[in-house]
Amino acid sequence: MATRTDRPVVGIDLGGTNMQVGVVDSTGRIIGRAKKKTRAEEGPAKVMGRIHDGIREACEEAKIPARALLAVGIGAPGAIDPVTGIVLEAPNLRWNHIPLAKTLAKKVGRPVYVDNDVRSAIFGEHQLGAGRGCSELMGVWIGTGIGGGLILRDELYHGYTNTAGEVGHVTLFPGMPPGSTSLENNCSRTAIVERIIKLIKTNHKSIIPKLADNDLSDVKARVVAMAFARNDRVTKMVVESAAENLGIAIASVVTLLGLQRVVIGGGLTEAMGERLVGLIRRSVHKHAAPEINRHVEVVKTELEADAGLLGAAMLARKGLSSRSRTRVIRA
């Protein structure tokens, strides 16, 4: 007979546009899935209703009743209090002080845990992916913005403010005008695309407009990856410079914290893979203190787009035996 902790959990990656729901068994395998639109504009009650629907659908696919679940974990964008499970501020969801854990626990009848989406993803890598067996770890997620998370002494680190891991806010260029000093404002996919477009508009040749069907209003990570792979000069120059700067900021943090490993993830990383991670790795090793370079590894996400979902699932599973500050909100 299955013991209590053998029971499956649900992990949810709650984004501003879509939510990914997965039933995850005790080995970390996803045995049922559901994907739904978030539709934040309809308000929190409707969104939570759709989360509940997603849980039911994923359980159906996994052929288990929702009451068989051990717990539910959610990675949500924005500032989260993991102790109370309240979403303090999530601009992408238009949420302010929404008691997500408590409300959903009542609906589903199972304990619910909530944490920040990027932190969940990094916890996923720590438990099941590229961060396994590593007690001191940073994740850096490069996409629309730059997010991050820290595993310190084998546990997710939240800091006093529950906001720890915000590597995107590291100041890289002091003295520059406000809005252009931070890592995020220089090295996110958004910043990279902006710089490429600026160069194109000043008559630098590039295959980006062709790859993006001449629509430069929303250049995707996939397009940047293609242009880079085809040796587009402008794209190579901008991406290489961003990777160099990412490496400098990461080297500072790795040296400050004496980290063992850095996992690089996020949309741009999934699209570019080792092409991007290799550049960042080279820069980290160039700029970190020598005694750090003997140890530190810079690796690519293993769980890719499932990192958030799997991490949320692992938070739900871990939560019950955790010594950390995260408290469960019971149904």
Task: Verify binding: residue 180, a second copy, rule CB under 8 A.
Answer: no
Measured in whole angstroms, the distance separating CA 24 from the mean position of its chain's CA atoms is: 18
Q: Does 98 bind a second copy (CB under 8 A)?
A: no
- Residues in contact with a second copy, counted by CB under 8 A, come to a total of 42
Q: How far is the CB of 171 from a second copy (least distance, A)?
A: 5
Distance between CA atoms of residues 35 and 51, nearest Å: 10
Q: How far is the CB of 135 from a second copy (least distance, A)?
A: 7
How far apart are the C-alpha atoms of 270 and 277, rounded to whole Å? 10
* Interface of this chain with a second copy, residues 208 to 267, rule: CB under 8 A: 244-245, 248-249, 251-253, 255-260
List binders of a second copy among 117-146 (CB under 8 A).
Answer: 135-136
Contact 137, 219 (CB under 8 A): no
Interface with a second copy, residue 80, by CB under 8 A: no
- In the complex with a second copy, the residue whose CB is nearer, 20 or 127, is 127
From 6-14, 45-53, 103-111, 172-180, span contacting a second copy (CB under 8 A)? 172-180
Q: Record the tokens describing residue 149, joined without a space.
A: 């998370």
**Interatomic CA distance for residues 30 and 22, integer angstroms:** 6
Cβ proximity to a second copy, 172 vs 263, nearer residue: 172
Of the candidates 265, 279, 180, the one whose C-alpha atom is nearest the C-alpha of residue 235 is 279
- Tokens representing 115 are 């944490």
Structure tokens at 41: 């504009």
The mark string for 288-327 relative to a second copy (x by CB under 8 A, - otherwise) is -x-xx--x--------------------------------
The structure tokens 């943090």 sit at: 253
Which 141-170 residues touch a second copy, going by CB under 8 A?
148, 150, 152-153, 157-167, 169-170
CB of 123: closest distance to a second copy in angstroms?
16
From residue 268 to residue 287, the character string flagging contacts with a second copy as x (rule: CB under 8 A) and all else as - is -------------------x
Per DSSP, the three-state class of 46 is: helix
**Cα–Cα distances in angstroms (integers) from residue 280 to residues 64, 272, 301, 330, in the given order:** 43, 12, 13, 42
Q: Which structure tokens are listed for 112?
A: 């619910």
Rounded CA-CA distance 323/113 in Å is: 14
Q: Which residues of the shown chain bind a second copy in the complex (CB under 8 A)?
A: 79, 135-136, 148, 150, 152-153, 157-167, 169-174, 244-245, 248-249, 251-253, 255-260, 287, 289, 291-292, 295
